[in-house]
Chains A and B, each alone.
Chain A
Amino acid sequence: MGEPMVKCTRLFFFLSAIIFSSLSVAQPVSPVEWGNIPSADLEMKSCPTDSGADAMILCDFGYSSFNHELDISYERHQRVKIFNKQGYEWGTYEILLYTEDKTEKIEDIEAVTYVLGADNKIEKYELNEDDIFYEKVSDAVTKCKFTLPNMQSGCVIEVKYHIICDNIYYLRDWTFQKSIPVRWSEYIVQVPKQIGYIIAPLGYEPYYINEKKDTTQKFGYLASELLGHSTAPCWYYRWVTKDTPALKDEPFISSMTNYVNRLQIQVYGINLVNTGKMFFYKDWQDLNQKLVKSETFGKCIDVTGDVEDLEKSITAGITDSLEKMIAIYNYVKDSIVWDETERISCSKEPDDVIETREGSNAEITMLLLSLMKSAGLTGAPVLISTRDNGYIQIEYPILNQFNYLIARVQVGGKKYLLDATNPLRTYDLLPIKVLNTTGLLIQEKEPLWVGIQSDVTSSKISLTQIKINNDGSVQGTLEISLKGYDAVKFRNGISETDTDDKIAKDYFNVEAAGINIDSAVINGKKDISETLKITAWFTSDEYAQVTDNMIYINPRIIRLKENPFKTEIRKFPVDYAYKRSSTEIINIEVPEGYELKDAYPAAKLNVGNFASFTSMGQLMSNNFFQIITKTDIREPIIEPEYYNDLKKFYSGMVDSQAGIIVLAKKTEAVVPASNTGK
């Protein structure tokens, strides 16, 4: 498993646009005046930049600051144009509040619908307080929900509210880009310098304004007590995006959260009178040191008596280090059940995990490392942000960016990344959700960024035998061997009580093509040390097309029929997660009295060095024809600049797999009775 140092190609900075100055700043106000809707916006029939849009955010304004009690005050003002009925969903608001210990409360909710009525008169409908619903989602979260009254196609809605939060952790993030176009989105944050926040901007679209200023703020009694002075120096931030296009979902994407424009905000330290100077994590090194010493993290690797006993029983009789590692991995994956929670730290000690034989991924990883340590192998935990959780911002030491933990073990100079949460995965396969991400190795001296890739190519080898009879009926076998992730997926998907026949029928799914699977055998269904092989015997009276003296047949019973890439352009990389390879051999027995008529079309396709497809047919003897096809996806991620080539590549594959063999009845060999005169 390779682990090159990570390149920062996916991080986007807009530092150049940051302006430092020390002007004092007036109380920020929303760029649009409440209730003053320009008639052009009411009259607008469709979005000028995106005619298909159902709605458009005209203005989204947020302002976070600290009030006199040093609570966070968050003001929000949003104005939305609704073009049609499908846009009505933008008129229903759901605001999540952290209500454990009354942390957040919402107040001053106002919402108005503006409709251009007859005679161009503006009709105005206000939200009634009784129509605001509060719903307890969980012990910690309450949802505030309301919908605007009297919405109609073409209306403009306007909403504002105010949230007070007494916990500095919950300074609200901001998302600039939505699934509809956004004309103007602005977020202003003003914080005392004594409360330090890391603000990470993400996304592909440029910022129109990106300011950071020095300022001061006068605070009241309570806040002054905490800050130590009544006028405190503050940072003032302002970000604006303008005319941002709608974000659209596309296939083969790791996670849309990687591409949306947003700000991720995290507190990193405070310096108040009652707390003194206190950093959460100054930098990655600091975070590393704290984690190494933590009872719920680094300390979980310490070898206890129970761990040592268990390790001795697992590795008894094994001398080779790599074999020891594999034995420990196999034991943990087979004996400890993953409880399906994803954690980065432990709430149970390794001894408890051994006793209950169950744990989170973090607890399983730490037990694995503890056992390795007991066996004399060097290892360390690696923090991960899974694919759907989004990319790590390496510039910002924010622990919450991570949501998963795996192990790295070193044996004789080679490093292995391990995750023992699924008994169906061999030690060289990580869960797909962590592939092509960046991990942070937490170890004694200093942390290390490691790339999480899989070197294992998932492969499929198939062998098809088809015997064609002279009435056009066929019989034969389909045989497929799966390795790597393809095998894991297959084994994960099958039900324990299903017969091999049923599993094979579902897998091949060829009934509608006129093929009957008469029986099937699956090898290695459970034992992952065996190769997974599916063999099915089939017959068909109607698969081939027959005329008086011809038989036409597509020898590829299993084939790709459609191009998965349908959109014309693509902005984001195509993410296959892992490398793939497929080899297909088809042997065709031509019936007695028939011969191959036309040459079977050969194909050779490629996308740079990333992907290739070759297919060719060959007459091996008089009645024996063979087609060999090879497909390789050599890179797990293909950049959008190759999208068109990739689309053509699939198009060519579909076309090639549609190829048909033409067999013609041999004309009776006419033996010349005599030499015809020349």
Chain B
Amino acid sequence: MNTLTGKKIIKGLLSMPVISRIINSTFVLLVLLSCDNFASDTKYAVKDIPKGLAEKVSAVIRLDATEFNVEDNESAVLKGTYVVTIFNKDEKDYGVLNLTYDKSIKIEEIEGYIYNAEGEEVYELEKSDIVDYSSYKDYNLYDDNRMRIANLSYNTYPYTVEFNYEMSYDGFINWPEWFSRGSVNPVEKAELKVIVPAGQQLRYWCNRDSLKPTITNNGDEQEYFWQWNNLPALPKEATDNWMMDLADVVLIAPSEFNIEGTSGNMSSWKDFGMWAYNIYSGKRKLPDDAISKVKEISQNAHNRNEIISGLYKYMQEKCRYVSIQLGIGSWQPFDASYVHTKGYGDCKALSNYMVALLEQAGIKSYPVLINSGTYRLPFIEEFSSNQFNHVVVCVPGDKDTTWLECTSSDILPGQIGWENENRKALMITPEGGVVVESPRSVPGENFMTKSIMVNLGVSNTTVNVHSSYGGNQMLYLKGISLKSSDDKEKWIKSSYEAPSVKLNDYKFTGVDETGKSMSLDYSLSIQQYASVTGNRLFFSPNLTERVDEIPGKIDKRVSPVMFAYPFKDVDSVYYIIPEGFTVESLPEETHLQSSFAEYFNKITADESGKLIYTRVFELKTYSVPAESFEEYRKFYSDIAKTERKKVILVKK
């Protein structure tokens, strides 16, 4: 940060003696007036924070105000004010303002100030405190988006930062999202004001029915206003929840909109999909060699499914995923012929190319806009707006519908992975948008089955593992199998909690003919797997799978617990125990059942003295509701408890 001006500090220091000198004079009334004037010169003094709001917190949001003024179908102005009092280093980052912009959003102005605890301005943001970056991420070859970051910090806590900024929109699809709070810190005041031309209805959605705006008509404008005051701090553990569940949320979206020479309507999913359809249309023309390739693949196939998988495989081999975010708000795909000649494209371009190949073979398919990611954000079906970040392909059939994830180069048709499954999405058809649901998977599909032979020794233990993985667990293992040999070895060893592990050999077997499972076999030796005390040996029978983390305690959970996918893990471990030892104690069998999962473990000795350990863990659902959080916690805690128990052997 640059040199402080210091001017205001000096003024502040000198004020006191001046006042006390005047008090002795006869101009008492004048003094009082000048005191008032002096007071109005300060802003956001710490003492002005409402009582109780600033206790045991690192920051207080003094004001978070947004005004969004819509002028017409393509222009709008966003004015933001954001004032935070920072009490210690933990929340220093509130002094950083990060605004992203692109071709259609321009940052008109950024102002910033620092006030000391008394509320006196001690610094004004300078140009040199603002940096401009390309918001490029490693995975993007190119994108239009940039960000501007303004940074304010001060040397004495507490202090207050204020940012005022203005951004103008020239063409839009997305309007700002509004959260009454973005963190667990208390909020003194939050405001959202949306202004639309008179006669227009603002389309908005609130996550609570109680959130009603005040609507005022001001001649040729109509104003929607929401306000919040004195939102108390939340306990830190609350951050395990979704902000969406902790905050009041207001979403706003345009009805008619223009962007980069196209115009659309978002007031229904059908219309929004229609606009997207038009953006994609005319992009599916294939070059001649692609057409003959489609013919060749179709002729060699025996049925429709074989054509789909043949073309999908062709696309996977020919193309790779490269992210290039250009064109209409990152919406328009590259031509199918471009993808064909370059051999790469982003999710839109690859999906569009896939649709073109299928169309050439006479099979109807559609691009689907989806919100991809391990965590499924709630899809607000009653509020048509841009809730998507990814594109996949759906091939509807009479009996079975096939989904295609075109950015992955080595999965089978129908496998769209946990980042796309079990959620609502928008299919783009010639008739417009249609809300569809992506497929769900069941525990049995996502299996992991291990069969392990252990030759337990007092010092050296050898282990032979045969394991097979299905569904999403197979996709995960596939990801591991593609890593470097160092990483693969590290991953295998990481399952073992032991002083030292030496991997002898390992083999990943590729996906089998059914396309639904793959296997991993390996053998390793462990030093001191069992620990020795006198005549006894102690060891954990659950060799590779164990629960050693328990979800944190939380007073009031308001969000459901989400899982990537349901699964079923089955481990069978056979132990040959060392010569001269006999079993002194075996852990008891455990069977745990809950609404969302089932767990079972058991260890028995057979007549030859061999021990057989079985462990089954089945997660049956995609989520656990907030009110069952304690049950969920207890379930994991009970597993951890049983998995700590050791087998005890004693010398004969």
| Chain A contact residues, CB within 8 Å of chain B | 51-52, 54, 84-86, 88, 92, 113, 125, 128, 131, 133, 135-138, 145-147, 149-152, 248, 336-337, 339, 348, 352, 355-358, 495-498, 502, 511-514, 542, 545, 547, 550, 552, 561-563, 566-568, 597-601, 647-648, 650-655, 658-662
- With A52-B485, A598-B534 known as contacts, the answer to whether A497 contacts B342 (CB < 8 A) is no
Enumerate chain B residues within 8 angstroms of A497, measured Cβ to Cβ: 56-58, 88, 90, 236
CA distance A356 to B156 in the complex (A): 10
B1 within 8 A of A: yes
| Known interface pairs A496-B58, A545-B648, A648-B500; 10 further A-B residue pairs with C-beta atoms within 8 A, sorted by A's residue number | A86-B484, A357-B156, A496-B88, A496-B89, A547-B584, A563-B498, A567-B486, A654-B498, A660-B531, A660-B536
Q: Which of B156-210 contact A (CB under 8 A)?
A: 156
**Do A356 and B155 contact each other (CB < 8 Å), given the known contacts A496-B89, A552-B646?**
yes
Contact A92/B141 with A54-B484, A658-B531 known, Cβ cut-off 8 Å:
yes
Beta-carbon contact of B485 and A659 below 8 Å: no
B residues sitting closer than 8 Å to A (CB atoms) are 1, 3-4, 6, 56-58, 87-90, 131-134, 136, 141-142, 153, 155-156, 236, 317-318, 320, 322, 341-344, 409-410, 482-486, 490, 493, 497-502, 527-528, 531-536, 538, 547-550, 584-585, 640-641, 644-646, 648
In the complex the two chains form, is B320's CB within 8 Å of A88's CB?
A: yes
Instruction: Give Cα A352–Cα B4 distance, bound, in whole angstroms.
Output: 9
**Taking A54-B484, A358-B1 as contacts, is the C-beta distance between A145 and B142 under 8 angstroms?**
yes
Please indicate the chain A residues that have their CB under 8 angstroms from the CB of B131 in the complex: 138
With the chains together, A151 CA to B641 CA distance in Å? Answer: 51
| Contacts A337-B155, A542-B641, A566-B493 given; does A52 touch B134 at CB 8 Å | no
Given contacts A52-B485, A339-B1, A561-B497, contact A655 B528 (CB under 8 A): yes
Pair B490/A566 contact, Cβ less than 8 Å: yes
Q: Which residues of B contact A600 (CB under 8 A)?
A: 533
- 6 closest Cβ contacts across the A-B interface? A598-B534, A150-B343, A52-B485, A654-B499, A658-B531, A651-B499
Q: Which residues of chain B are within 8 angstroms of A514 by Cβ–Cβ distance?
A: 640-641, 644
Q: In the complex, are the beta carbons of B344 and A660 less than 8 A apart?
A: no
Determine if A651 and B528 form an interchain contact, defined as CB atoms under 8 angstroms apart: yes
Cβ–Cβ contact B342 & A652, under 8 A: no
Nearest chain B CB to A488 CB, angstrom units? 15
Partner of A647, one of B6, B153, B500: B500
Q: Is the CB of A85 within 8 A of B410?
A: yes
- Which listed residue, B1, B136, B486, B499, touches A652 by the CB 8 Å rule? B499
CA distance A513 to B251 in the complex (A): 44
Q: Which residue of B lies closest to A547 (CB)?
A: B585
B residues less than 8 Å from A655 (CB atoms): 499, 527-528, 531
Closest A residue to B134 by beta carbon equals: A135
B550 touches A512 (CB 8 A): yes
Q: Is the CB of B536 within 8 A of A598?
A: yes
Assuming A498-B236, A512-B640, A562-B497, is B141 touching A145 (CB within 8 A)? yes
Min CB–CB distance A457 → chain B (angstroms)? 26
Q: Which residues of A contact B134 (CB under 8 A)?
A: 135-137
Q: State whether B343 touches A125 (Cβ < 8 A).
A: yes
Find the B residue at minimum CB distance from A598: B534
Contact of A599 with B550 at beta-carbon distance under 8 Å, contacts A137-B134, A550-B585, A552-B646 already known: no
Expressed in whole angstroms, the minimum distance between the Cβ of B148 and any Cβ of chain A is 12
B6 neighbours in A (Cβ, 8 Å): 355-356
Residues of B within 8 A of A498 (CB): 236
- What is the minimal beta-carbon distance from B109 to any residue of chain A, in angstroms? 20
Tell me the complex Cα distance, A380–B483, Å. Answer: 50
The CA-CA distance from A660 to B649 in the complex, in Å, is 13
Interfacial chain B residues near A339, Cβ < 8 Å: 1, 153
- Complex contacts, B585 vs chain A, CB 8 Å: 545, 547, 550, 552
With a cutoff of 8 Å between Cβ atoms, the chain B residues found around residue A84 in the complex are 482
Neighbouring B residues of A147 by C-beta, 8 Å: 141, 322, 344
B528 to chain A: which residues have CB within 8 Å?
Answer: 651, 654-655, 658
Q: In the complex, what's the smallest C-beta–C-beta distance from B113 to chain A, in angstroms?
A: 17
* In the bound complex, CA of A660 to CA of B538 (Å): 8
Tell me whether A651 and B527 are in contact in the complex, defined as CB-CB below 8 angstroms, given that A52-B485, A136-B134 are known contacts: yes
B534 touches A662 (CB 8 A): yes
Q: Give the residue name and chain of the B residue nearest to A617 (CB).
A: B533
User: Which A residues lie within 8 Å of B344 (CB)?
Assistant: 147, 149-151
Distance between Cα atoms of A152 and B344 in the complex (Å): 11
If A145-B141, A151-B320, A357-B155 touch, whether A52 touches B343 (CB-CB below 8 Å) is: no
* Residues of chain B within 8 A of A348, CB atoms compared: 3
- Considering the chains assembled together, what is the distance between the CA atoms of A498 and B499 in angstroms? 35
CB distance from B522 to the nearest CB of A (A): 15
Q: Are B499 and A599 in contact (CB under 8 A)?
A: no
Q: How far is the CB of A556 from chain B (nearest CB, A)?
A: 11
* Complex contact B501–A566 (CB within 8 A): yes
Asked if A495 and B534 make an inter-chain contact with CB atoms under 8 angstroms apart, the answer reads no
Nearest A-chain residue to B553, judged by Cβ: A511
Which residue of A is nearest B643, CB measured?
A512
Report B-chain residues with C-beta under 8 Å of the C-beta of A136: 134
Contact pick for B536, options A568, A652, A654, A662, CB 8 Å: A662
Query: CA A496 – CA B133 in complex, angstroms?
Result: 32
Instruction: Indicate whether A131 sits within 8 Å of B58 (C-beta atoms), given known contacts A357-B155, A647-B500, A658-B531.
Output: no
Q: Which residues of chain A are within 8 angstroms of B584 by Cβ–Cβ distance?
A: 547, 550
Residue of A nearest to B548 (CB): A512
CA distance A146 to B538 in the complex (A): 58
A659 and B640 contacting across the interface, CB-CB below 8 Å: no
Sample 29 A-B pairs with CB under 8 A, ordered by A number: A92-B141, A128-B342, A137-B133, A145-B141, A145-B142, A146-B141, A149-B342, A150-B343, A151-B344, A496-B87, A496-B89, A497-B236, A512-B549, A512-B640, A545-B646, A547-B585, A562-B497, A562-B498, A566-B490, A566-B493, A598-B534, A598-B536, A654-B528, A658-B531, A659-B533, A660-B531, A660-B533, A660-B538, A661-B533
